[in-house]
A and B are shown apart, each in its own frame.
Chain A
């Protein structure tokens, strides 16, 4: 059994049968009073973020979760199929479970699949992915300003704001934590 002293960023606990991951936490103790841990956590099934305050020392149930590295294979209706790179075991997640991460999946992309009680509930894509621009207004040669941006659509359907010099057909490095443009890459 865990307790509030185990709480740190990324700690996963079970509440009412649902796994939550700690996003942020703060120890608070009113003078002469009971100490608490104010905790912000993400529901790992729905992505919803909630705040919960625990009494310091309160017992917590650790969530039985496991992360496995898997390769994205192909879409299948409203599902996406992944394969364990070691056991070749396949499993699928729905687009709803994947949320925005659906935009970072290319054939062969390696992701960490989160399993809860043995069932997949979500994925963590690589921090950076490289995607091709399929559509954007033509760029101007010589415009090196990165302060002004324009919208672009990438091969996975992801919409990002990019500098004016970016053209369709360019390959871009994208930060999957923020969904934003990092730089243009060769290739």
Chain B
């Protein structure tokens, strides 16, 4: 017998169906093609504060990791000549569970070859407005243009601290950011925060001002996406990967291998590109005013 809990799940299924259809319509109208890349990958990403699920075969032999994002493989498609690609896929993060985190979640990732992060920021603004309209969610504040601030401006505006004063202590930076700054971002309308410290963006290129060409959008205090003007220099990418591996070793975190084929494809040549990764569950949660991403998933861990 179907009960009220089932009705809620059916409602979630309907909304997700509409959301996924709207995302596909948005990108197909803009001449993107939808791509698929593997869930089991030879390297799950080397960011220091990232934890991946290891995958083992039937005899217990290690076969790889569940992808924390499809980034390496999608960029390899750019090296292969793909121009505009998007993907809707599951990404997996170990040790992340909370109202805005789930070990398995839906990621929307897209890339534009021969483009900058600016064009991808514009995509993001238009996409979110398009989806709000498609889902019939009255959210006039998400229509472009969004607010803009650099990391330094956001810190000065909300906690009266400069980025410089925090840079000698990354832990303190993240604590201040998580506790004092982020909850205040994007409450009136979404905001795009740019110019992150170079040390916090291993896969982004460096801007002439010395900051990373990285942006994040926040809406109602929640991080919605993370995008880059992509790094295309293979030697520099390898140096950063080795630096990340050393940092992981120092932090007593598992040291994942470097994805050699990704680096080789950068070497072969990847066009200047912009890319972005957006949390689909978070977007739906925010547009609906739901209390958690679990509320907009049919099978969050707690009901699995």
* A residues with CB within 8 A of B: 5, 26-36, 38, 53, 55-57
In the bound complex, how far is the Cα of B97 from the Cα of A5, in angstroms? 9
Could you say which residues of chain B place their CB within 8 Å of the CB of A5? 95
B157 within 8 Å of A (CB atoms): no
In the bound complex, how far is the Cα of B95 from the Cα of A19, in angstroms? 26
Q: How far is the CB of B291 from chain A (nearest CB, A)?
A: 11
Q: Provide 23 A-B residue pairs closer than 8 Å at the C-beta atoms, listed in order of the A residue.
A: A5-B95, A27-B97, A27-B100, A28-B179, A29-B49, A29-B101, A30-B174, A30-B223, A31-B223, A32-B47, A32-B49, A32-B196, A32-B200, A32-B226, A33-B173, A33-B178, A33-B200, A34-B175, A35-B49, A36-B179, A38-B179, A53-B179, A56-B95
Q: A34–B171 contact, CB under 8 A?
A: yes
Could you say which residues of chain A place their CB within 8 Å of the CB of B96? 27, 29, 35
Q: A27–B178 contact, CB under 8 A?
A: no
Q: How far is the CB of A62 from chain B (nearest CB, A)?
A: 20
Q: A27-B97, A30-B223 are in contact. Are A53 and B201 (CB under 8 A)?
A: no
Could you say which residues of chain A place their CB within 8 Å of the CB of B268? none
In the bound complex, how far is the Cα of B174 from the Cα of A53, in angstroms? 12
Q: A33-B174, A56-B95 are in contact. Are A27 and B179 (CB under 8 A)?
A: no
In the bound complex, how far is the Cα of B100 from the Cα of A34, in angstroms? 15
In the A-B complex, list the 9 residue pairs whose CB atoms are closest, starting with the nearest.
A27-B98, A33-B174, A34-B174, A28-B178, A31-B226, A30-B177, A32-B200, A30-B178, A30-B174
In the bound complex, how far is the Cα of B49 from the Cα of A28, in angstroms? 12
Could you say which residues of chain B place their CB within 8 Å of the CB of A57? 95
In the bound complex, how far is the Cα of B49 from the Cα of A29, in angstroms? 9
Nearest CB in chain B to that of A34: its residue: B174
Q: A29–B226 contact, CB under 8 A?
A: no
Could you say which residues of chain B place their CB within 8 Å of the CB of A55? 171
B182 within 8 Å of A (CB atoms): yes
Q: How large is the interface on B (under 10, 10 to 19, 20 to 34, 35 or more residues)?
A: 20 to 34
Q: A34's contact among B49, B101, B226, by CB below 8 Å, is which?
A: B49
Q: A27-B101, A34-B170 are in contact. Are A53 and B49 (CB under 8 A)?
A: no
Q: How far is the CB of A58 from chain B (nearest CB, A)?
A: 11
Q: A36–B101 contact, CB under 8 A?
A: no
Could you say which residues of chain A place their CB within 8 Å of the CB of B207? none
Could you say which residues of chain B place their CB within 8 Å of the CB of A29? 49, 96, 101, 178
Q: A28–B98 contact, CB under 8 A?
A: yes
Q: How far is the CB of A134 from chain B (nearest CB, A)?
A: 41
Q: B175's contact among A26, A27, A32, A53, by CB below 8 Å, is which?
A: A53
Q: How far is the CB of A6 from chain B (nearest CB, A)?
A: 12
Contact string against A for B residues 156-199, beta-carbon threshold 8 Å, 1 for contact and 0 otherwise = 00000000000000110111011100100000000000001000
Nearest CB in chain B to that of A56: its residue: B95
In the bound complex, how far is the Cα of B196 from the Cα of A35, in angstroms? 18
Q: How far is the CB of B258 from chain A (nearest CB, A)?
A: 18
Could you say which residues of chain A place their CB within 8 Å of the CB of B223? 30-31
In the bound complex, how far is the Cα of B96 from the Cα of A31, in angstroms? 12
In the bound complex, how far is the Cα of B177 from the Cα of A90, in angstroms? 51
Q: B49–A33 contact, CB under 8 A?
A: yes
Other than the known A30-B177, A32-B226, what 10 A-B pairs have Cβ atoms closer than 8 Å? A27-B99, A28-B100, A29-B49, A30-B223, A32-B47, A33-B49, A34-B171, A35-B96, A36-B178, A53-B178
Could you say which residues of chain A place their CB within 8 Å of the CB of B200? 32-33
Could you say which residues of chain B place their CB within 8 Å of the CB of A26? 98-99
B216 within 8 Å of A (CB atoms): yes
Nearest CB in chain A to that of B181: its residue: A30
Q: How far is the CB of B293 from chain A (nearest CB, A)?
A: 11
Could you say which residues of chain A place their CB within 8 Å of the CB of B226? 31-32
In the bound complex, how far is the Cα of B48 from the Cα of A57, in angstroms? 14
Could you say which residues of chain B place their CB within 8 Å of the CB of A34? 49, 170-171, 174-175
Could you say which residues of chain A place their CB within 8 Å of the CB of B173? 33
Could you say which residues of chain A place their CB within 8 Å of the CB of B100? 27-28
Nearest CB in chain A to that of B253: its residue: A57
Q: How far is the CB of B50 from chain A (nearest CB, A)?
A: 8
Nearest CB in chain B to that of A28: its residue: B178
